[in-house]
Structure 1
């Protein structure tokens, strides 16, 4: 008698396990605890063997019978169903280990140590949001240029052209890593040039004022009635024109009042090389004002929540909004203003670029360039602070 669902459901557990047969080697083993296990018994090379097929009702009667047909076909081809299943599991496991997502995460672990924590985390988030959902489970060696193209076009379709370009660049780095570790034979990203497949994007510069509006901005900063630490942060960024992230992450251990230098370590710099900011008298005065607030013994600009974190990137931006500069000025804008005015005043382009930490850095030159031309740069920073005082006071 063949099994039916009704008969299986009616089967009750006994003190000892017992079997119900469906014929042709397929049986259902009823355990004393009530679980019901499918078994397939067969002979291979003259030996009787047994293969577990799963439990009922997860594996239905219909599914168990279909598996029996598959196993019988394998036996007709001279293939042991048990060995075949082990091989399939190995292939699936190998495919998972060499999936694009798995290799990408290996690459990220290798790559992230030379980047800031924030940048590394952002790159991984973008992969998880934009790339893994489409090609993450594909074996990396099987991914084609068309697979990549479909992925980046999907990103572009929501209007994120710049993110699509960065995704393609990141994928290219992952494939180079895979090729270098013998996990893929070639890099399909090399076949795709962004300009050929993506719409051109309009480059948007950071909002910044014209230099003629700078005096009024400096006066408004002096009169800012928000948190004093925010006012001092705006003063210091105007005097040093560092990047916003470099400013808010400043630590007291980086400040050397005696040598009149702010030494920013490589791990906090975008270019991943140490950077020296010469401090003018006006910058020293701002630092002393910050110290008087006794806001934090480690961070110059701690979060108001006192949670060990720095103030938000948006703190300076919102302060500028409050002063009437919405969409007209950002923290980054101080860098552009300083660069323009210092070039107009005849300071050496090389000195300005070094002070902006724009200069290309490589592993050999990084530790050399950050201290290059310190004396003329210090004079330039003193002159810059004096210039800000003059224009602020209408002279």
Structure 2
């Protein structure tokens, strides 16, 4: 004899008991009534030989008609060999995934999340370069786009467009994109990383910064000093040359890094490319230049920005100075190469030279144990280098001009 089907009246009249009990509607569908008054629709079925329970929701939120429809769909899945419990779980996961994509799936949102995760591990100079290049090339192209809609063909086209005029930037952009899409893949926003391989960019031989010939050094300095540039800009370039530092280390310098009485400049690790504090013994010419500069400014920065309050001189300012004075083909970084060439050709201690340049030794064991600062030797070497660039009397004139 077939069991009678449930009715809305019977469901409303059903009262809790001391123990759980069920009201069956047939075909495995039943309403579980608990002592606390909870009423839960359940579908009992067998899958791969095991009895399982599929929860369909609570009554009366899920009406009898809705429960029967859900039961019908679940039975159809079982008939096809599909477990409705796992199927429902997958549907919830897919819904969460769709919600995630809606909230965090745009390209610019992913870029922000990627930078928030990775920027803290980078030097400030690297962060600024990344921000500049991403802001100039990637965001204008893909901002607002769903990241999953961006194709490998589009990425390749962008990189090939940038490469002819800025090959190094193109390589940087590819690295950024690789990190961005890896981050997206890790968070389920894309199925796979579509960034094209390195081979789409032409292989280029390594190039070194072209230094100024030795016999043009004094004329170069004379031309720079005779230019109409701001005294602080000239001083920044001279400081870079006298100390063999990188231009960003000079343009970003602050007065609290200097002890002019001890003639020492201590650059904190966060401003160094190798993320290691670097101490530079200052030659007499640099000290005179800085003493004169100190009398003309109240800023915490040696070379404050003229457009950004609290900021420092743009690295591009020094390049512009060379261009205005007819030395557009000369690289500022090349003065480090010039110093290295001069010191090595004169038979100086290689360790002292490398410490002057703030290079980290490639040999891990030697790098770990060779912590010697070589301050005295470096002071002597940099002083002789400064004497080559600026005789003492010339240095005094420059200091007074600054």
User: Under TM normalisation by the shorter chain, which class is it?
Assistant: 0.5 to 0.7
- Counterpart in the other structure of 1:115: 122
The 8 Å contact of residues 211 and 337 in structure 2, kept in 1 or not, is answered as yes
User: What secondary structure is seen at the aligned counterpart in 1 of 2:386?
Assistant: helix
| Alpha-carbon distance between aligned partners in 1 of 2:142 and 2:208, rounded to the nearest angstrom | 32
- Counterpart in the other structure of 1:242: 245
Match of 2:65 among 41, 47, 62: 47
- Counterpart in the other structure of 1:298: 300
Q: Please report how far the alpha carbon of residue 337 of structure 1 lies from its aligned counterpart in structure 2 after TM superposition.
A: 1.9
Q: Please report how far the alpha carbon of residue 246 of structure 1 lies from its aligned counterpart in structure 2 after TM superposition.
A: 0.9
- Counterpart in the other structure of 2:259: 256
Distance 1:245 1:348, change over 3 A: same
| Alpha-carbon distance between aligned partners in 2 of 1:203 and 1:136, rounded to the nearest angstrom | 36
The 8 Å contact of residues 285 and 392 in structure 2, kept in 1 or not, is answered as no
| Alpha-carbon distance between aligned partners in 1 of 2:118 and 2:308, rounded to the nearest angstrom | 32
The 8 Å contact of residues 259 and 265 in structure 2, kept in 1 or not, is answered as yes
Query: Deviations along 1:133-166, whole A, 9 cap, x unmatched?
Result: 2996345xx99xxx55752343213435433322
- Counterpart in the other structure of 1:11: none
The 8 Å contact of residues 244 and 332 in structure 1, kept in 2 or not, is answered as yes
- 2:172 corresponds to 1:169: no
User: What secondary structure is seen at the aligned counterpart in 2 of 1:263?
Assistant: strand
The 8 Å contact of residues 344 and 350 in structure 2, kept in 1 or not, is answered as yes
The 8 Å contact of residues 105 and 189 in structure 2, kept in 1 or not, is answered as no
The 8 Å contact of residues 130 and 155 in structure 1, kept in 2 or not, is answered as no
Q: Please report how far the alpha carbon of residue 306 of structure 1 lies from its aligned counterpart in structure 2 after TM superposition.
A: 7.7
Match of 2:100 among 75, 94, 98: 94
The 8 Å contact of residues 221 and 235 in structure 1, kept in 2 or not, is answered as no
User: What secondary structure is seen at the aligned counterpart in 2 of 1:47?
Assistant: helix
- Counterpart in the other structure of 1:155: 159
Q: Please report how far the alpha carbon of residue 276 of structure 1 lies from its aligned counterpart in structure 2 after TM superposition.
A: 1.2
Distance 1:311 1:84, change over 3 A: closer
Q: Please report how far the alpha carbon of residue 378 of structure 1 lies from its aligned counterpart in structure 2 after TM superposition.
A: 1.7
- Counterpart in the other structure of 1:61: none
Distance 1:376 1:210, change over 3 A: same
The 8 Å contact of residues 134 and 151 in structure 1, kept in 2 or not, is answered as no
Distance 1:266 1:322, change over 3 A: same
Q: Please report how far the alpha carbon of residue 263 of structure 1 lies from its aligned counterpart in structure 2 after TM superposition.
A: 0.3
Query: Deviations along 1:319-361, whole A, 9 cap, x unmatched?
Result: 3333332x23243232222222222222233322222223258
Q: Please report how far the alpha carbon of residue 372 of structure 1 lies from its aligned counterpart in structure 2 after TM superposition.
A: 2.8
Distance 1:197 1:114, change over 3 A: same
Q: Please report how far the alpha carbon of residue 287 of structure 1 lies from its aligned counterpart in structure 2 after TM superposition.
A: 1.0
User: What secondary structure is seen at the aligned counterpart in 2 of 1:272?
Assistant: coil
Distance 1:304 1:188, change over 3 A: closer
Matches within 5 A, 1:128-147: 129-130=137-138, 133=142, 137-138=146-147, 147=151
Gaps of 5+ in 1: 1-42, 50-73
| Alpha-carbon distance between aligned partners in 2 of 1:365 and 1:272, rounded to the nearest angstrom | 18
User: What secondary structure is seen at the aligned counterpart in 1 of 2:295?
Assistant: helix
The 8 Å contact of residues 270 and 276 in structure 2, kept in 1 or not, is answered as yes
Q: How many residues were matched structurally?
A: 317
| Alpha-carbon distance between aligned partners in 1 of 2:241 and 2:168, rounded to the nearest angstrom | 29
| Alpha-carbon distance between aligned partners in 1 of 2:154 and 2:204, rounded to the nearest angstrom | 19
Gaps of 5+ in 2: 1-60, 68-72, 78-83, 395-402
Query: Deviations along 1:103-162, whole A, 9 cap, x unmatched?
Result: 5543321221122345324424544643882996345xx99xxx5575234321343543
Q: Please report how far the alpha carbon of residue 379 of structure 1 lies from its aligned counterpart in structure 2 after TM superposition.
A: 1.6
Structure-2-length-normalised TM-score: 0.63
| Alpha-carbon distance between aligned partners in 2 of 1:340 and 1:391, rounded to the nearest angstrom | 23
The 8 Å contact of residues 282 and 385 in structure 1, kept in 2 or not, is answered as yes
- Counterpart in the other structure of 2:347: 346
User: What secondary structure is seen at the aligned counterpart in 2 of 1:346?
Assistant: coil
Query: Deviations along 1:140-199, whole A, 9 cap, x unmatched?
Result: xx99xxx557523432134354333223333444566678x675999858x9652x3322
The 8 Å contact of residues 182 and 193 in structure 2, kept in 1 or not, is answered as no
- Greater Cα radius of gyration, structure 1 or 2: 2
Q: Please report how far the alpha carbon of residue 264 of structure 1 lies from its aligned counterpart in structure 2 after TM superposition.
A: 0.5
Distance 1:87 1:305, change over 3 A: closer
